[in-house]
Amino acid sequence: MTSASLDVVGIGNAIVDVIAHAEDAFLVRESLVKGTMTLIDAGRAEALYRMMGPAIEASGGSAGNTMAGIASLGGCGAYIGKVRDDFLGQVFRHDITAIGVRFDTPAATSGPGTARCLILVTPDGQRTMSTYLGASAELGPGDIDPKIIGAARITYLEGYLFDPPHAQEAFRTAAAVAHAAGRRVALSLSDPFCVARHRAAFRDLVDGHVDILFANEAEICSLYQVNDFDAALQEVRRSCEIAVLTRSARGSVVVGGDEVHVIDAHPIETLVDTTGAGDLYAAGFLFGLSRGLDLASCGRLGSLAAAEIISHVGARPLVPLATLAEREDAHRRAR
Amino acid sequence: MTSASLDVVGIGNAIVDVIAHAEDAFLVRESLVKGTMTLIDAGRAEALYRMMGPAIEASGGSAGNTMAGIASLGGCGAYIGKVRDDFLGQVFRHDITAIGVRFDTPAATSGPGTARCLILVTPDGQRTMSTYLGASAELGPGDIDPKIIGAARITYLEGYLFDPPHAQEAFRTAAAVAHAAGRRVALSLSDPFCVARHRAAFRDLVDGHVDILFANEAEICSLYQVNDFDAALQEVRRSCEIAVLTRSARGSVVVGGDEVHVIDAHPIETLVDTTGAGDLYAAGFLFGLSRGLDLASCGRLGSLAAAEIISHVGARPLVPLATLAEREDAHRRAR
Mean pLDDT on B200-219:
94
Q: Which member of A52, A94, A313 has the closest CB to residue B318?
A: A313
3-state per-residue secondary structure call for A219-241: HHHHHHCCCCHHHHHHHHHHHCC
The predicted pLDDT at position B165 comes to 80
Cβ–Cβ gap A54/B86 under 8 Å: no
pLDDT tier, B7 (very low <50, low <70, confident <90, very high otherwise): very high
Q: Are strands B6-11 and A259-263 parallel, antiparallel or unpaired?
A: unpaired
Residue B182: what are its φ and ψ, rounded to 5°?
75, 20
- Minimal CA separation from A183 to chain B, in Å: 29
3-state secondary structure of A12: coil
Contacts with A275 (C-beta within 8 Å, 6 or more apart), sequence order: A17, A19, A60, A119, A121, A127, A129, A309, A313, A314, A315
The pLDDT assigned to B123 comes to 93
**Cross-chain residue pair A98–B314, CB shorter than 8 Å:** no
Q: What is the reported pLDDT for B2?
A: 67
Q: How many domains does chain B have?
A: 1
Q: Is residue B45 part of a domain?
A: no
Q: What is the pLDDT of residue A220?
A: 96
Q: Would you call A54 and B312 a contact, using CB atoms and an 8 Å cutoff? A: no
Torsion region of A11: left, alpha or beta (phi above 0 gives left; psi -120 to 50 gives alpha): beta
Identify the pLDDT of residue B108: 97
Q: CB of A57 within 8 Å of any CB in chain B?
A: yes
Give mean pLDDT, residues A273-281. Answer: 95
Interface pTM, i.e. ipTM? 0.89
**Cβ–Cβ contact A47 with B under 8 A:** no
| pLDDT computed for residue A302 by the predictor | 98
What pLDDT score was predicted for residue A164?
A: 86
CB atoms within 10 A of CB A106: 9
pTM attached to this predicted model: 0.92
Q: Per-residue pLDDT for B81 more than 80?
A: yes
Q: Per the CB < 8 Å rule, is A94 touching B316?
A: no
C-alpha to C-alpha distances, A273 to A212, A287, A311, B87, nearest whole angstrom: 26, 23, 7, 26
Long-range pairs for A231-238: beta carbons < 8 A, 24 or more residues apart:
A236/A206
Q: Which domain holds residue A291?
A: 6-330
Judge: B99–A314 Cβ closer than 8 Å, yes or no. Answer: no
Would residue B225 be called left, alpha or beta, if left means φ above 0 and alpha means ψ between -120 and 50 degrees? left
For an interface test with B, which of A94, A97, A122, A312 has the most B Cβ atoms less than 10 Å from its Cβ?
Answer: A94
With respect to residue A1, please indicate whether it lies within any of the assigned structural domains.
Answer: no
Asked whether A7 and A286 are in contact (CB, 8 A), the reply is yes
CA distance A98 to chain B (A): 5
State pLDDT tens for residues A194-225: 999 999 999 999 998 999 999 999 999 999 99
- Given a cut of 60, whether residue B1 has pLDDT beyond it is no
Q: Between chains, do A54 and B313 touch, taking CB under 8 Å as contact?
A: no
Helix (H) or strand (E) holding A25: helix A24-29
B119 has a chain A CB within 8 A of its CB: no
What's the mean pLDDT when you consider all of chain A? 95
| B316 contacts A91? CB cut-off 8 A | no
- Interface size A-B, in CB pairs within 8 Å, comes to 63
Cα-based angle A306, A309, A310 (whole degrees, multiple of 5) = 90
> If you measure CA to CA, which chain A residue comes closest to B56?
A58
B58 part of contact set with chain A, CB < 8 Å: yes
Sheet of B77-80: strand order equals B102-103, B77-80, B6-11, B152-158, B184-188, B212-216, B242-246, B252-256, B259-263
- Which of B59, B87, B313 lies closest to A318 in CB terms? B313
Q: Are the beta carbons of B120 and B27 closer than 8 angstroms?
A: yes
Strand order in the sheet with A102-103: A102-103, A77-80, A6-11, A152-158, A184-188, A212-216, A242-246, A252-256, A259-263
Residue A63 and residue A156 in contact, taking contact as beta carbons nearer than 8 Å: yes
Give the mean pLDDT of A142-158.
Answer: 97
Q: Which residue of A has its CA nearest to B97?
A: A54
Q: Does any CB of chain A come closer than 8 Å to the CB of residue B53?
A: yes
Q: Is residue A98 less than 8 Å (CB to CB) from chain B?
A: yes
The secondary structure element, H or E, covering residue A187 is: strand A184-188
Name which of B17, B18, B26, B94 to mutate to probe chain A: the one with the most chain A Cβ atoms within 10 A of its Cβ.
B94
Percent of chain B with pLDDT over 70: 99
User: Taking CB atoms and an 8 Å limit, are B54 and A94 in contact across chains?
Assistant: yes
| Alpha-carbon torsion, ordered B84, B88, B89, B90, to 10 deg | 140
- A68: nearest CA in chain B? B54
Q: Average pLDDT in the B134-140 region?
A: 94
Average pLDDT, chain B: 95
Nearest alpha carbon to residue A107 among A76, A72, A136: A136
Contacts of B59 in chain A (CB under 8 A): 54
Taking contacts as CB-CB distances below 8 angstroms, the residues of chain B near A21 are 318
Question: Residue A182: is its pLDDT beyond 80?
Answer: yes
Percent of all residues in chain B with a pLDDT value above 90, rounded to a whole number:
90
Q: Distance between CA atoms of B155 and B181, rounded to whole angstroms?
A: 11
Residue A88 touches chain B, beta carbons under 8 Å: yes
Residue A89 pLDDT > 80? yes
A50 in B contact zone (CB under 8 Å):
yes
Q: Which amino acid is at A160?
A: Y
What does the pLDDT average to over B126-140?
95
| Inter-chain touch B318–A21, beta carbons under 8 Å | yes
Residues on chain A touching B53 (C-beta within 8 angstroms)? 98-99
Question: Residue B3: pLDDT above 90?
Answer: no
Give the 3-state DSSP-derived string for A257-298, with helices as H, strands as E and coil as C.
CCEEEEECCCCCCCCCCCCCHHHHHHHHHHHHHHCCCCHHHH
8 Å CB contact of A50 and B318 = no
Model confidence at B176: pLDDT above 80:
yes
**Does B320 lie at the interface with A, CB-CB under 8 angstroms?**
no
For A269, A303, B229, the CA distances from A284, given in Å and listed in that order, are: 20, 7, 50
Compute the nearest-CA separation of B24 from chain A (Å): 15
H/E stretch holding A119: strand A115-121
- Residue A103 reports pLDDT greater than 70: yes
- The two beta strands, A212-216 and A242-246, are parallel
Alpha carbon of B97: minimum distance to chain A alpha carbons (Å): 8
Q: Other C-beta atoms within 10 Å of A311: how many?
A: 16
Of A56, A87, A99, the CB nearest to B87: A87
CA gyration radius, chain B: 18
Minimum Cα–Cα distance from B273: chain A residue? A318
pLDDT digits (tens, 9 = 90+) for B142-172: 999 999 999 999 999 999 999 888 888 898 9
Residue B75: pLDDT band with limits 50, 70, 90: very high
Confidence of residue A66 (pLDDT cuts 50, 70, 90): very high
Question: What does the alpha-carbon distance between residue B26 and residue B22 come to, in Å, rounded to a whole number?
Answer: 6
pLDDT at B44: 97
Residue A231: pLDDT over 60: yes
Q: Is B86 on the interface with A (CB under 8 A)?
A: yes
Cα B76 from Cα B153, distance rounded (Å): 10
In a domain, A335, yes or no: no
pLDDT band with cut points at 50, 70 and 90 for residue A2? low
Instruction: Give mean pLDDT, residues A234-245.
Output: 94
A103 to chain B, closest Cα gap in Å: 14
Q: A-chain residues within 8 Å CB-CB of B58? A: 56-57
The pLDDT, as a whole number, for residue A1 is: 56
Asked which of A1-10, A174-183, B43-52, B175-184 is least confident by mean pLDDT, the reply is A1-10
CB A167 within 8 A of CB A137: yes
Residues of B in contact with A50 (CB under 8 A): 94
Give contacts of B316 with chain A, Cβ < 8 Å.
54
What pLDDT, in 10s, does the model give residues B272-322? 899 999 999 999 999 999 999 999 999 999 999 999 999 998 999 988 999
Helix axes A217-224 and A199-208, enclosed angle (nearest 10): 100
The answer to whether position A183 is within a domain reads yes
- CATH number for the domain harbouring residue B280: 3.40.1190.20
Question: Does any domain span residue B49?
Answer: no
